[in-house]
Amino acid sequence: MSAVLLLHGLPLYIFSALLGLVVGSFANVCAYRMPRKKSVVSPPSSCPRCGNRIKAYDNIPVVSYLLLLGKCRNCGERISPIYPLVELANALLYVGAAWKYGATPSLLFYFVFLTALLVITLIDFEFQEIPDELTLPGTALGIIAGWLLLPDPFLRAHSLGIKASLTGAAAGFSIYYLIAMASKGGMGGGDIKMMAMVGAVTGWKGVLLTTFTGSLVGSVAGLYIVVFKGGGRKTKIPFGPFLALGALICILFGQEIAGWYLHRGNI
Ligand SMILES: [Zn+2]
């Protein structure tokens, strides 16, 4: 941790990008194995078609995909471009967090948190579920981080603190519990626990902003699906990815949004 704290400027961004690629590769493993109830640590990755173990030199994030032209070295099975895209996305998230928070202890927490949001997004898209294995330890870890090291995302000079973290978790849980009751299945238990986790990290204001931006983007996406993809009103759209996006916007731009909101009278 102390090594990271010495970095700033370009070296910090390069470190964040490289770490983001490597952890992004692990995020792919988690997103594939967690919903299938498999261990995320063993066995090592293998080709789903021929079972050939993927060698370390063929497992370099993004680079290996390009060198292998997106195919298994052994059997030629096509590897989904989603994998390198997830690695790149995770690297981008890490650089974004480093840009906003610099080399602080909270940056290391945001790295973990943002990757958890990415894995939730992938799993919810594919299975319409959000695993408790991510949201429950995520909430506990979020409360500890909120207590000890996180800044308030809306007032970055101030720390979040245990009270705001607990209130945020309670707000996320109870608001989404009520929405789940009212929507009769449209919003699930996974979303409730996910928002407890988001609230622990961003406070109750973060729950509101995440809900606002998540619903806004979610409605636009829903409308697009109904109009252009022929989906009906019954088409099930996972909400977790939109909440993840809302939480990301809150963490990266909460301060700017709060500033704009407070000073909009002066425009
Ligand atoms: Zn193969």
From ligand 1's centre to the CA of 80, what distance in Å?
A: 13
pLDDT above 50: residue 267: no
From ligand 1's centre to the CA of 52, what distance in Å?
A: 6
From ligand 1's centre to the CA of 126, what distance in Å?
A: 23
In the chain, where the domains are located: 1-103, 105-267
Q: What is the pLDDT of residue 234?
A: 64
Taking only the tens place, the pLDDT of each residue in 68-101 is 999 999 999 999 999 999 999 999 999 999 999 9
How far apart CA 143 and CA 196 sit, in angstroms, is 10
From ligand 1's centre to the CA of 104, what distance in Å?
A: 42
The residue type at 28: N
Q: Which two tokens stand for residue 199?
A: 């609230």
Contacts (Cβ under 8 Å, ≥6 apart) of 254: 153, 154, 202, 205, 206, 209
How far apart CA 236 and CA 234 sit, in angstroms, is 6
From ligand 1's centre to the CA of 44, what distance in Å?
A: 14
From ligand 1's centre to the CA of 77, what distance in Å?
A: 5
From ligand 1's centre to the CA of 68, what distance in Å?
A: 12
From ligand 1's centre to the CA of 59, what distance in Å?
A: 13
Q: Give 262's pLDDT tier (boundaries 50, 70, 90).
A: confident
Identify the three-state secondary structure at position 213: helix
From ligand 1's centre to the CA of 18, what distance in Å?
A: 27
From ligand 1's centre to the CA of 177, what distance in Å?
A: 44
Q: What is the pLDDT of residue 178?
A: 94
From ligand 1's centre to the CA of 87, what distance in Å?
A: 21
**Mean pLDDT value across residues 26-51:** 93
From ligand 1's centre to the CA of 64, what distance in Å?
A: 14
Q: What is the pLDDT of residue 5?
A: 63
From ligand 1's centre to the CA of 75, what distance in Å?
A: 4
Q: Are 62 and 88 within 8 A, CB to CB? A: yes
CB atoms near residue 98 (< 10 Å): 26
Q: What is the pLDDT of residue 230?
A: 75
**Mean pLDDT value across residues 224-233:** 76
Q: Give 229's pLDDT tier (boundaries 50, 70, 90).
A: confident
From ligand 1's centre to the CA of 74, what distance in Å?
A: 5
Global confidence as pTM: 0.92
